[in-house]
């Protein structure tokens, strides 16, 4: 990923919306804390209420609750499961709403910037560029950035913090069992890194072909009367089908890589769950850990599968969006060949004759189009220039 392109295109615009971003980040942090707290009421019910094991946490209100009436403790702890779920839902809603709003604002400002910049570029740029590909960059590429760097950036951070927090709590509870859960993690990271690079390459080819298809379609629709007049409908259809098939192959390849990333994480995570359940059960039988602690471990390792699976999906989206950021940055980095002078006068109410004197013009290949052309257009008159064709 070209960090400079992403920084120019996205991060600068995200910084301008820092107030909403801070609130969304706070919601993300609340969601992460709720994820970490979720299995603990169940752990306390099993170990301290049902099995009457002493609590290792030095927290006076909790100790008083567990040393009192068991029915009251059971009601409050089971209610805590519901409260945590409600808070998690509220934080999740707040984060999704705010990040979606930020994403749409980024798309709006970016499209406006792109359209304004394209109007300032020289005609030579538009002669070289395909209008369909430019339309793809303004629509599809900006949408790709909205979907990832606004909505998914915080989601990525939330999942990452959740995984880190789960490992931190697991090491605090039992470091030996945590090492068992951690063994599979480097393998998952390596697999995701390899798949990330493959998806990015495939996405780049896919975007390029989609732009070519859009350009071809726009050109043919604008010349539909000529195509019909010469009876070229079948020929144009065959060309379009041939190009569409190439795009289809690239799209299927990208989808296969995305599915492979998700399935790889699920299989490796299942191996990690198996190892934790097997080793943890042996530790319970040896009275080295409490059953409730094993429940916390199983809950964390099982729920860790979801953030890791979502991280795999987000990495594939990031790879696509980085390609879109590079394509957009290529346009914004293009400078007009002719710029207005800062001291230029406004052309207001100008009236008079227009004179062309000894005008020469040729394309980039050196082929002359106009050579020593001179003529006058009187004020209020319209003239037509007709070429040899």
Q: Which of 61-70, 90-99, 348-357 has the lowest mean pLDDT?
A: 61-70
Domain that holds residue 232: 3-332
Tell me the pLDDT tens digit for each residue of 184-233.
778 877 877 777 677 767 776 776 777 677 777 777 777 777 777 777 77
Indicate the pTM of the whole model: 0.63
pLDDT beyond 90 at 290: no
- Classify residue 340: in a domain, yes or no: no
More confident site: 32 or 69? 32
In this prediction, residues 128-142 reach a mean pLDDT of 71
* Residue of 103, 87, 88, 89 lying closest to 21 (CA atoms): 103
The pLDDT mean for the chain works out to 78
The token duo for 290 is 């409490």
Question: What pLDDT does 1 receive?
Answer: 44
| CATH value at residue 182 | 1.20.1560.10
pLDDT band at 86 (very low <50, low <70, confident <90, very high): very high
Q: Rounded distance, CA 64 to CA 375, Å?
A: 100
- Classify residue 354: in a domain, yes or no: no
In this prediction, residues 51-76 reach a mean pLDDT of 71
Q: Which of 88-92, 318-322, 381-385 has the lowest mean pLDDT?
A: 318-322
When divided into structural domains, the chain yields a total of: 1
- Classify residue 72: in a domain, yes or no: yes
Cα angle 162, 184, 192; round to 5: 70
Query: By the 8 A CB rule, do 240 and 275 touch?
Result: no
- Classify residue 206: in a domain, yes or no: yes
pLDDT beyond 50 at 124: yes
- Classify residue 294: in a domain, yes or no: yes
The strand pairing partners of 376, in sequence order, are: 355
- 3-class DSSP state of 376: strand
Tell me the pLDDT tens digit for each residue of 18-37.
788 888 888 888 988 988 88
Of all residues in the chain, what percent carry a pLDDT higher than 90? 3
- Classify residue 149: in a domain, yes or no: yes
């Amino acid at each position: 990923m070209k960090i400079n392109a992403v920084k120019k295109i996205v991060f600068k615009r995200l910084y301008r919306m820092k107030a909403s971003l801070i609130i969304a980040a706070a919601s993300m942090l609340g969601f992460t804390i709720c994820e970490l707290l979720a299995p603990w009421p169940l752990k306390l019910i099993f170990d301290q209420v049902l099995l009457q094991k002493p609590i290792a946490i030095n927290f006076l209100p909790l100790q008083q609750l567990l040393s009192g009436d068991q029915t009251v403790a059971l009601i409050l702890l089971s209610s805590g499961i519901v409260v945590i779920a409600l808070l998690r839902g509220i934080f999740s809603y707040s984060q999704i709403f705010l990040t979606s709003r930020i994403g749409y604002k980024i798309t709006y400002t970016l499209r406006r910037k792109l359209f304004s910049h394209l109007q300032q570029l020289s005609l030579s740029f538009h002669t070289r560029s395909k209008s369909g590909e430019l339309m793809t960059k303004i629509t599809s590429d900006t949408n790709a950035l909205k979907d990832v760097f606004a909505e998914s950036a915080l989601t990525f951070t939330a999942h990452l913090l959740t995984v880190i927090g789960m490992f931190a709590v697991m090491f605090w509870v039992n470091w030996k069992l945590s090492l068992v859960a951690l063994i599979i993690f480097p393998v998952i990271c390596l697999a995701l890194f390899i798949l990330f690079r493959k998806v990015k390459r495939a996405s780049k080819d896919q975007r390029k072909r989609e732009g070519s298809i859009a350009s071809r379609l726009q050109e043919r629709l604008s010349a539909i009367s000529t195509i019909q007049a010469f009876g070229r409908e079948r020929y144009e259809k065959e060309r379009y089908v041939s190009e569409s098939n190439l795009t289809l192959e690239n799209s299927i390849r990208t989808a296969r890589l995305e599915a492979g990333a998700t399935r790889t994480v699920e299989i490796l995570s299942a191996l990690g769950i198996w190892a934790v359940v097997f080793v943890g059960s042996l530790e319970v039988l040896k009275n080295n850990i409490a059953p409730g602690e094993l429940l916390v471990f199983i809950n964390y390792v099982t729920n860790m599968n979801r953030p890791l699976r979502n991280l795999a999906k987000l990495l594939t989206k990031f790879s696509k969006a980085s390609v879109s950021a590079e394509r957009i940055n290529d346009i914004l980095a293009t400078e007009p060949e002719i710029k207005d002078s800062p001291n230029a006068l406004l052309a207001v109410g100008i009236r008079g004759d227009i004179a062309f004197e000894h005008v020469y013009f040729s394309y980039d290949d050196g082929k002359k189009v106009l050579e020593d052309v001179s003529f006058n257009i009187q004020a209020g008159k319209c003239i037509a220039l007709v070429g040899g064709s």
